[in-house]
Structure 1
Amino acid sequence: MKIRKAGAEDLPAMLSVLDSAVVWLNGKGITAQWGTEPFSERSEAVEQVRRTAAEGDPWIVEVDGEPAGVMTLTPHPGRHVPPAAEPEVFVRLLATDARFHGRGVGAALLEHAAAETRRQGVSLLRVDCFAGSGGRLVAYYEGQGFTRTEAFVVDDWPGQVLERRF
């Protein structure tokens, strides 16, 4: 497993991982998290990924040279979460390609996020996630050392902000 900085040329690989995650989620009956259409087929989603990557530091995990996971770290959250009252690093668009689920890809990306946060001299790492489906994703982040902070709702989409302090 290798984690590398991504660039604009990696947008197709990032979209492919996100598309695979949508298919995997839908296969588990989870359609409310990221919908049922692939990211790459929704122009607003493609623009969101492009914009988020440009605002921060996108990262790709490769397993045997294949993109296995993606994440972008930004100095602020997306539009539905208020920024912190202190410097922060925010995990955005974290996803694992379905072919690599259960191999620690997400955990490796989150540890990389922690290392980057410390490297920048920042003490707050935050993430927001889908809180539906029995809170499984929230529990995953808690298992990775994050603590719940504020919950929020966008339309009918339940979300949870979590933080990790250093």
Structure 2
Amino acid sequence: MTDPGKEALTIRRASVTDTPAVLRLFDEVIAWFVAIGNPQQWGSEAWSSIPRRITQVTDACALPGAWVAETGKGEVRAFLALGEAMPYVPAANEPELYVRVLVASRDPRVRGIGRRLMAFADEQARAAGVAYLRVDCYGGGSGDLVRFYESCGYERLSTFNIDGWPGQVLDRRL
């Protein structure tokens, strides 16, 4: 049964043409972070106005493992990029699928899409014959983001710090 207050979403491969929509997602989430007093995670400036961030998002949208969740009207509500580990984390000792980016709209009509995309990452790993996944995230603030990934079946693996930005690496075995 479908919740009448929820939007039906389809997951499809992303492309660089999705960059403006994905930047809007980041801008939406950053505005929310600022509103709740958490500008430390991604800053307080809209990513759509920062050339370096525009390039990063464009590059992420071009990855072969980039996906968007969109409504029937073609509105992008979440973005997931899977691939190789980020350069700032230690290499894995076995084949893995790395969750490079996950961002989702704060719109209550799509509540749960982040969890759905993490389950989709599991499906992609299984299809590739990989049983090991990792993700990294902001490890500061209230710790809610780390707890979100733990609720998706990930466990804390290691921490890192990039110029005062505390990060947490988590992993999961299927």
TM-score, with normalisation over the residues of structure 2?
A: 0.89
Instruction: Select the residue among 61, 71, 79 that pairs with 2:80.
Output: 71
Change in 2 beyond 3 A, CA 1:13/1:98: same
Change in 2 beyond 3 A, CA 1:101/1:81: farther
Counterparts of 1:134 and 1:23, CA distance in 2: 17
- Over the matched positions of the two proteins, sequence identity in percent amounts to 38
1:52 aligns with 2:60: yes
Deviation, structure 1 residue 159: 0.5
Computing the radius of gyration from Cα coordinates, the structure with the larger value is 2
Counterparts of 1:41 and 1:98, CA distance in 2: 20
Q: Which residue of 2 aligns with 1:95?
A: 103
Change in 2 beyond 3 A, CA 1:6/1:102: closer
1:15 aligns with 2:27: no
The answer on whether the counterparts of 2:16 and 2:59 sit within 8 Å (CA) in structure 1 is: no
Could you give the per-residue CA deviations for residues 8-55 of structure 1, whole angstroms, max 9, x where no partner exists? Answer: 211111111111111111111110100011111111111112223334
Deviation, structure 1 residue 63: 3.2
Q: Which residue of 2 aligns with 1:153?
A: 161
Counterparts of 1:150 and 1:124, CA distance in 2: 16
Spell out structure 1 runs of 4+ moving beyond 3 A: none
Deviation, structure 1 residue 155: 1.1
Note the 1:15-34 alignment, pairs <5 A: 15-34=23-42
Counterparts of 2:61 and 2:170, CA distance in 1: 21
The answer on whether the counterparts of 1:21 and 1:98 sit within 8 Å (CA) in structure 2 is: yes
Counterparts of 2:109 and 2:40, CA distance in 1: 20
Change in 2 beyond 3 A, CA 1:50/1:82: farther
Paired residues in the alignment total 165
Larger fraction in helix? 1
- Gaps of at least 5 residues in structure 1 are none
